[in-house]
Amino acid sequence: MKNVLGLVGKVAQLYGGLYYQRFSRDLNTLLICQGLGRVLRATRVSATDPGAMIRTALVGHYFNFLRHFEVLADCGFAVSCFAGKPDDVYHPSQPLAAFDPAQFDCVLVADDVAEERLYAEVAAKGARPIRIMRVVEAHIAVLKSMRFRGVVSCLNPYKQAVITAVAAVTDPGGIVVECGVYMGGTTIQMALLQRALGLKRRIYALDTFEGMPEPTASDYGGGMVYTAGMFADNRQGLVQSYYHKAGVEADIEIVPGLCQDTLPAIIARTPHVAFAFLDTDQYAGTKGGLDMIGPVLRSGDVIVVDDTSVRGVDTAIREALARDAGLVRAPVLMNFDLVFRH
């Protein structure tokens, strides 16, 4: 009897583990759909209308994704299906020949069998499709790897999902810039994501690696003020050791110093910044990032700014938009805004 109970316990444990994995996968699919929805609604539809729907073509038939069809609608995607199974009465589909990329803001490709072929055919029509389940699986794999290696991120799961979404939809060329690295958790996430998604963009990690500099007058006047010397435990050698431990050291160039001082040389050398993450928590660093990256932003490039309710950060963004009417600001989460050019 004892052996039987032990076997039953092991089977229950195995089943529970498999159920948890599936549940976790479903939750991360939801997070990615939410993140993509927030990013695409802002950058491709309307940054000022949170209720605007994203005209979306879903190409292919992937059962484990179609289970989340209602989630897509909840996240703002108005979906038309193409190249699905003819007998799928729940997701009526049109032939791929009827697909016109000009009619859609977003194209998602997911198929159990012919995804590569469908992706190529859609791309040949001039669209930039997103392999949605590849993005989900990459996100899950990156989080597992970070947890296994003990990498700590300062970002909550919603913000991490937005980082994944931006990495997936921005131009595969150019470079990635992070201003304000701290312990390197977000840098590692971006580097692992790029590998999982087949992207080869160079990542520049900019930080003083000596703690926060002295705040300016623009940082004061209400709310949290990050004062000189805070976060001084992120010495360059320590952060570099974390990159090495995560196996991404070769993908990242560490640039010590104030980003407003070090960015000009980077931009002069490689003026296409596809994706930037500004997390300096102060006016001067945010202003420096926007002053240098804003003018070289192309349509489709995105700057993500963290801690945007901090007075100095908010002031720097407002000033950048006042100087450049072509820039758009879109809050996508609390304290998390996108800045981009239409």
Closest-CA residue to 181 (of 141, 151, 214, 221): 151
Considering the domain architecture, whether residues 206 and 87 belong to the same structural domain is answered as no
Considering the domain architecture, whether residues 172 and 302 belong to the same structural domain is answered as yes
Measured in residues, the chain has a length of 342
In the predicted model, is pLDDT for residue 299 greater than 80?
yes
pLDDT, position 238: 96
* Mean per-residue pLDDT, 188-201: 97
Query: Which residues are CB-contacts of 233 (< 8 A; sequence separation ≥ 6)?
Result: 211
- The residue range of the domain holding 181 is 149-341
* Mean per-residue pLDDT, 150-158: 93
Considering the domain architecture, whether residues 254 and 295 belong to the same structural domain is answered as yes
* 15 part of a folded domain: no
The CATH number that applies at residue 184 is 3.40.50.150
In the predicted model, is pLDDT for residue 19 greater than 50?
no
How many domains are there within the chain?
2
Asked if 248 and 191 touch (Cβ cutoff 8 Å), the reply is yes
Asked if 296 and 272 touch (Cβ cutoff 8 Å), the reply is yes
In the predicted model, is pLDDT for residue 129 greater than 80?
yes
* 329 part of a folded domain: yes
Query: Which residues are CB-contacts of 23 (< 8 A; sequence separation ≥ 6)?
Result: none
Considering the domain architecture, whether residues 173 and 270 belong to the same structural domain is answered as yes
Asked if 281 and 310 touch (Cβ cutoff 8 Å), the reply is yes
pLDDT, position 8: 58
**What is the SS3 assignment for the chain?**
CHHHHHHHHHHHHHHHHHHHHHHHHHHHHHHHHHHHHHHHHHHHHCCCCCCCCEEEEEECCCHHHHCCHHHHHHCCEEEEEECCCCCCCCCCEECHHHCCHHHCCEEEECCCCCHHHHHHHHHHCCCCCEEHHHHHHHHHHHHHHHHHCCCCCCCCHHHHHHHHHHHHHCCCCCEEEEECCCCCHHHHHHHHHHHHHCCCCEEEEEECCCCCCCCCHHHCCCCCCCCCCCCCCCCHHHHHHHHHHHCCHHHEEEEECCHHHHHHHHHHHCCCEEEEEECCCCHHHHHHHHHHHHHHCCCCCEEEEECCCCHHHHHHHHHHHHHCCCEEEEEEECCEEEEEEC
Considering the domain architecture, whether residues 266 and 329 belong to the same structural domain is answered as yes
* Mean per-residue pLDDT, 293-312: 97
In the predicted model, is pLDDT for residue 18 greater than 70?
no
Considering the domain architecture, whether residues 208 and 288 belong to the same structural domain is answered as yes
Considering the domain architecture, whether residues 115 and 200 belong to the same structural domain is answered as no
Considering the domain architecture, whether residues 95 and 160 belong to the same structural domain is answered as no
* 20 part of a folded domain: no
Considering the domain architecture, whether residues 230 and 197 belong to the same structural domain is answered as yes
* 6 part of a folded domain: no
In the predicted model, is pLDDT for residue 17 greater than 60?
no
Angle between helices 2-40 and 132-148 (to 10 degrees): 120
Q: Higher-confidence residue: 3 or 313? A: 313
The CATH number that applies at residue 61 is 3.40.50
pLDDT, position 222: 85
Q: Minimum mean pLDDT among 14-23, 163-172, 245-254, 271-280: which range?
A: 14-23
Instruction: Quote the tokens at residue 291.
Output: 């002053």
Considering the domain architecture, whether residues 103 and 160 belong to the same structural domain is answered as no
* 55 part of a folded domain: yes
* Mean per-residue pLDDT, 8-34: 72
In the predicted model, is pLDDT for residue 139 greater than 50?
yes
Instruction: Quote the tokens at residue 18.
Output: 């498999």
Considering the domain architecture, whether residues 71 and 166 belong to the same structural domain is answered as no
pLDDT, position 24: 85
Model confidence at 219, pLDDT cuts 50, 70, 90, reads very high
pLDDT, position 33: 97
Considering the domain architecture, whether residues 204 and 318 belong to the same structural domain is answered as yes
Greatest Cα-to-Cα distance within the chain, rounded to the nearest angstrom: 78
Average pLDDT of the chain to the nearest whole number: 94
Closest-CA residue to 268 (of 251, 292, 285): 292
Percentage of residues in the chain having pLDDT higher than 70:
94
Instruction: Quote the tokens at residue 178.
Output: 């992070």
